[in-house]
Structure 1
C-alpha cells in the first residue's frame, strides 16, 4: 500500500505545483506590478524630498544674495526679481518691507500684498498687518489702526500680545494714560508675553508715572 500511496502523494504534489505555476503565469504580473509601484513610489517620494530641499536652498541663497547688495535700491531690485509662491512669497514681501526709509511706498505695498493674500496662513498675514500699522504710525488715523489691530489681539492669534501692546500705545496717543497703564500692566503678567515685551511694557508704565507692580 505504501507504493500506491507514495505515488498518489507525488501526483497530488505535482498537480499542486502545476496549478501554482499556472496561477503565477496568470496572475504573477500583479505581484510584479505591486513591487514596481512600491519601489517607484519610494523613489518618487525621495526625489520629491530632494527637489524640495534643493528649491528651498536655492530660494534661501537667492534671498541672501539679494540682501547682500550694496545699496537699498539694489537690494529691493534683487529681492523683487526672486521668484516665490505661497509662504515664500510672504517671506519675500516682508523682506521687501524691511527698508521703509529708502522705499516707504514700496514697503507698504509689499505688506499690503501679503495682508491681502487669503491663501496664506494667519502667521504671515497678521505679521504683515502688525508691521503695516507700526510703519504707518501717526500718519494713519487711530481708529483705522485700532480696527486693524483688534482682530490680531483675539485669543489664539499668533501675535496677540504684540497687538495688545500696540493697542496700549494707541491709548497713550489718545491721552488715555490710566487705561494705557492698566493695559500695559496686564501684559507684564500675561504668560504669553515674551520677556522683551514685558520689559517694554514695564518701562512704558514707569514713563507714564505708574508702578508696574501695582495691582
Structure 2
C-alpha cells in the first residue's frame, strides 16, 4: 500500500462515524424530546397569551355594554352578571362603587367585599378601604375610620398621602384645628403628594385660618426674572 497513514486515518474516521451513529441511535430521542419540549412550551405560552387577551377583551366589552345602560339598578345588575377572574374581580367591585349617591348601600357592600378579599392585590384592597371611609363619612365611627386608614398611611403604601389627607380631615371633625393644619402643612412638604392633593390641602389650611407659606422660587427662575 502506497500510503498506510492515509489508510489508517480513513479507518479511524469510519470507526468514529460508526460510534457517532450508534450514540445517536441510542440517545438521539433525548434531543428530539428537548426540541419538542421547546416548541411545545413556546406554543403553550402563545396560547395562554391569546387566551388572556381574549378574556380581557370580553371583560372590557361586557363592562362597556353594562355601563351604557340607563339606570343605576340596571347597570349594577349587568355588572354583577359579568364573569371575572383575578384582578378583574377587583376592577368590577370598584366599578360597582362608582355611584354612591343613587346606590350607597351597593357601593359600600362592593367595597367591603373587595377590602376583605385576600386574593386581590393589596393596592386594590387599600383603595377599597379608602373609598369606603370617604363614602361612609360620619355614618362610620370616627375611631373606626382612623383605624381603617392608619395601615394605609404607612410608608411604602400606594395611597399613603391620600390616607393622611383623610386623617387630617378627621382632626378637623374632632375640632383639633391646629393639629389638622399641621398635618395638612406636612402634606404640602411631602414629595409624594400629588398636585391635586396639595391644592386641596392649601384650600383647607386657609379655610381653617392657617397660613400657607409661599412656594420657593428656584434660583434659576430668579436669575431669569432678574435678567
TM-score, with length taken from structure 2: 0.90
The 3-state SS of whatever aligns with 1:48 is helix
**Structure 2 equivalent of residue 118 of structure 1:** 118
**Structure 2 equivalent of residue 136 of structure 1:** 136
Superposed CA deviations along residues 94-142 of structure 1, whole A, max 9, x for unmatched, are 1101111222111111101100011222201110000000000111111
**Structure 1 equivalent of residue 99 of structure 2:** 99
1:5 Cα deviation from its structure 2 partner: 2.4
Alignment of 1:3-14 (within 5 A): 3-14=3-14
1:58 Cα deviation from its structure 2 partner: 1.4
Q: Does 1:52 align with 2:52?
A: yes
> 2:213 and 2:93 mapped to 1: Cα distance?
40
Flag structure 1 segments of 5+ consecutive residues without an equivalent: none
Deviates more, 1:8-17 or 1:73-82: 8-17
**Structure 1 equivalent of residue 35 of structure 2:** 35
> 1:201 and 1:114 mapped to 2: Cα distance?
29
Kept in 2, the 8 Å contact 1:94–1:111? The answer is yes
Kept in 2, the 8 Å contact 1:153–1:161? The answer is yes
**Structure 2 equivalent of residue 158 of structure 1:** 158
Alignment of 1:62-77 (within 5 A): 62-77=62-77
Superposed CA deviations along residues 135-185 of structure 1, whole A, max 9, x for unmatched, are 001111111111111111111111110011101111111111111111111
Deviates more, 1:164-173 or 1:99-108: 99-108
**Structure 1 equivalent of residue 222 of structure 2:** none
The 3-state SS of whatever aligns with 2:3 is helix
Superposed CA deviations along residues 173-212 of structure 1, whole A, max 9, x for unmatched, are 1111111111111111110000000000000011111112
TM-score, with length taken from structure 1: 0.95
> 2:122 and 2:29 mapped to 1: Cα distance?
50
Kept in 2, the 8 Å contact 1:152–1:163? The answer is yes
Superposed CA deviations along residues 65-93 of structure 1, whole A, max 9, x for unmatched, are 21111111111011101111221111110
> 2:150 and 2:22 mapped to 1: Cα distance?
74
**Structure 1 equivalent of residue 90 of structure 2:** 90
The 3-state SS of whatever aligns with 2:191 is coil
1:8 Cα deviation from its structure 2 partner: 2.0
Superposed CA deviations along residues 7-47 of structure 1, whole A, max 9, x for unmatched, are 22222221111111111111111111111111111111111
The 3-state SS of whatever aligns with 1:69 is coil
Flag structure 2 segments of 5+ consecutive residues without an equivalent: 215-227
> 2:2 and 2:127 mapped to 1: Cα distance?
88
**Structure 2 equivalent of residue 18 of structure 1:** 18
